Amino acid sequence: MHKPNEVRSLMPSTPKLLSGLIYSHGKLVRAGNREATALRPVEITPHFISSAEGSTLIRLGETQVVCTASVEDGVPPFMKGSGKGWISSEYAMIPRATDTRTSREVNRGRQSGRTMEIQRLIGRSLRAIVDLEKLGERTVWIDCDVIRADGGTRTASITGSMVALALALKKLQEMEVIKRIPLNDYVAAISVGIIGNQTLLDLDYSEDSNADVDMNVVMTGSGLFVETQATAEKDPFGGEDLTRMIDLARPAIQELVQLQKSITKVELPGGKG
């Protein structure tokens, strides 16, 4: 078992400033001279919150998200008597996760549409790779709290939550609450986008806010899609653009999955672990 603060990492003419981005000879110069196909530095710290059954702190560049997995007996009313479990998610940002303070949603009286969309996406992504029947009538609550937001918070939340979930299920097995860990696969996510004529992997905030097309890809370790979200901010985009973005995301997600596996060390059916 990894120690609480053990970190696993994946690290790798005069420009002018334009719209928050830096260009040189008509080409975007990314922060740290990062290549178009490169992830930002990634770190996942397991067991970050000692009181939770499973937890992580994931860092994706400047973006940081605390993910916890909490297990409760019982399921939502619509699942009672089914013999199956459930995974639900909540997502939030602390007020100074952003460059200027954003008031807490609880003070506004309701969650924003963006927050509800993201937490539903996280829940769907994790349910896709869990055998809910083998989980039994239990609920795993996934809580994702963004402590620094610089683009990619929803994709980082999915990737970090996968590890928190696996650690929580591993703990249940160690306590002999369940016989085997009910995971069928791993899942991770990353953003991709098009700015001008460049297709870029893992957009930070300045890139995302200037993108002509932005896309989030959620994929399993075996290469199957859970969800793709692609949006043209101005002009429509073609099938070749979509294929190019997916081809850029695919190896990056496999890289993230390998990082997840190195932390959880969970054996999955069919040699997926």
The answer to whether 60 and 42 are in contact (CB under 8 A) is yes
| pLDDT above 90: residue 10 | no
| pLDDT above 50: residue 15 | no
More confident residue, 196 or 9: 196
Tokens at 47, concatenated: 């067991």
CA distance linking residue 71 with residue 131, whole number of Å: 15
pLDDT band at 19; cut points 50, 70, 90: low
Average pLDDT of the segment spanning 72-81:
94
| pLDDT above 90: residue 105 | no
| pLDDT above 60: residue 18 | no
Question: What pLDDT score was predicted for residue 14?
Answer: 40
More confident residue, 129 or 272: 129
Average pLDDT of the segment spanning 245-266:
97
| pLDDT above 70: residue 169 | yes
pTM (predicted TM-score)? 0.90
The domains of the chain, with CATH numbers, are 34-268 (3.30.230.70)
| pLDDT above 80: residue 8 | no
Average pLDDT of the segment spanning 15-35:
71
| pLDDT above 50: residue 82 | yes
How many beta carbons lie within 10 A of that of residue 33, not counting itself? 7
The answer to whether 260 and 54 are in contact (CB under 8 A) is no
Least confident of 2-6, 187-191, 248-252: 2-6
| E strand spans, the chain | 8-10, 16-18, 21-24, 27-29, 42-46, 54-60, 63-73, 86-93, 138-148, 187-195, 198-201, 213-220, 225-232
Residue 241 CA: distances (Å) to CA of 115, 183, 213, 258: 28, 33, 9, 27
| pLDDT above 90: residue 263 | yes
Maximum CA pair distance of the chain? Answer: 68
Question: What pLDDT score was predicted for residue 217?
Answer: 98
**pLDDT tens per residue across span 125-159:** 999 999 999 999 999 999 999 999 999 999 999 99
**pLDDT tens per residue across span 193-249:** 999 889 999 999 999 999 999 999 999 999 999 999 999 998 999 999 999 999 999
Average pLDDT of the segment spanning 184-192:
98
Average pLDDT of the segment spanning 56-71:
98
Question: What pLDDT score was predicted for residue 17?
Answer: 41
Question: What pLDDT score was predicted for residue 21?
Answer: 81
More confident residue, 15 or 162: 162
CA distance linking residue 52 with residue 265, whole number of Å: 19
Looking at residue 175, what DSSP letter applies? Answer: T
| pLDDT above 80: residue 75 | yes
Average pLDDT of the segment spanning 91-98:
94
